[in-house]
Amino acid sequence: MVFPALACFLMKSALVLGAVHLVGRAFRRRAAASARLRLDLAAFIAIPFLALSSIPNPLGVQLAPAPSVPEPRAEARGLRVEAVGLAQAEAPLPAVPRAAPSAGLIPVSGRLATAISLAWLAGSLLSLASILVSLGASQLSLRSLRPCTDPEWLSALATARRRLGIRATLSLLVGQGQAPFVAGILYHRIVVPPFRPQWTAQRKLSALLHELGHVKRRDLAWRLFAEVSASLVWCIPFSALILRRMALDREEACDELAIRGGADPIEFASLLLELSRSSRLCPMPGALSLGRGHKIERRIQMLLELKNEGPGRHRARGLLVLIALVAMAASFRELRDRGERRYPDLLRRPPQGWGAD
């Protein structure tokens, strides 16, 4: 009974992730980065509930064991000396007709079901192991860093915390990278580069506003949750596409917070352009860096657009994403009800014979 539940879970997850991916692409230019990020997070939050829920397969497709031809009985193969003669005993046995596959059933052999289940388990364990290794390496790297004593960085940190209203406990460290980054799940640490004359007071404030935006939004914890959920559905391509899109939306959302916190858009855009040319932005796995990521030109364009954008347009974008979420939930409920009407006793009478060779 492991493979049928696994197959149903992957089908439901593919349907949800595919719908979220299409909705996210449709609202790519019309919704704010924070709204798109909530939409993608909702998909990964739904993954564990899909694994534990009893919702039937909404596609109406079931998996059935492959039909097998029963072997003739031993009495039919032997010589029936007492009942029939030698000629009748050596007569060929009648052919046994194969059962026609039922509508909506896909035949799967027991060996294939076992192989697919083991491949899914191996992929999930490898994904979880890579996440744990990344967290361990990040914690080991943080222990070797020294606290920051630069008064300009400390003053910029106090100003940024006051503007964003952050009261969480965090520490400011000095690293070897060329851009600030934030690390740590429970206890946040912001790592800044060593002394460089091109880092003016305004640049330091803009960079810390961006990194504190990750702290305010709890991006590290939510990213960890999304990666763990994605490890359960690693075989679905939509999960990798949504994770990649979340990485860009996460940076854009923090850019918006930095601008609203008082960072100058022109100065911040020039800082992003300069950091994008660097090769040593964040030498620590599992951290979120200011200049990391692709499509820097898009972030710079968004920063310039935010200068002339009002809050009304921002609320309208969030409303569009909310309407899309409600429509997607209603569609999924309709598919679930259709599956329950088509197979009312699917959960009470599961198919028999799984795992038999």
Residue of 40, 59, 9 lying closest to 324 (CA atoms): 40
pLDDT tens for 85-140 read 544 545 555 555 554 554 445 566 678 888 888 999 999 999 999 999 999 988 88
Low-confidence winner among 209-218, 247-256, 333-342, 344-353 (lowest mean pLDDT): 344-353
Predicted confidence at residue 352, as pLDDT, reads 47
Task: Please tell me the number of Cα atoms within 13 Å of 65 on its side-chain side.
Answer: 16
CA distances from 53 to 88, 118, 143, 306 (A): 58, 22, 42, 42
Going by pLDDT thresholds of 50, 70 and 90, the confidence category of residue 305 is confident
Q: Can you spell out the DSSP letters for 237-281? A: HHHHHHHHHHHHHHHHHHHHHHHHTT--HHHHHHHHHHHHT-S-S
80: alpha, beta or left? (left if phi > 0; alpha if psi -120 to 50): beta
Q: Mean pLDDT, to the nearest integer, of 38-63?
A: 75
Predicted confidence at residue 89, as pLDDT, reads 47
Cα angle 19, 228, 36; round to 5: 40
Predicted confidence at residue 194, as pLDDT, reads 85
Going by pLDDT thresholds of 50, 70 and 90, the confidence category of residue 77 is very low
Matching residue, tokens 């206890």? 187
Q: Mean pLDDT, to the nearest integer, of 305-322?
A: 54
| Residue 104, amino acid | G
CA-CA distance, 304 to 31, in Å (whole number)? 16
CA-CA distance, 274 to 179, in Å (whole number)? 10
* Mean pLDDT, all residues of the chain: 77
Going by pLDDT thresholds of 50, 70 and 90, the confidence category of residue 157 is very high
Dihedral (CA of 281, 217, 320, 266) sign: negative
pLDDT tens for 5-37 read 888 899 889 999 999 999 888 887 777 888 889
Going by pLDDT thresholds of 50, 70 and 90, the confidence category of residue 241 is very high
Predicted confidence at residue 325, as pLDDT, reads 59
Predicted confidence at residue 353, as pLDDT, reads 45
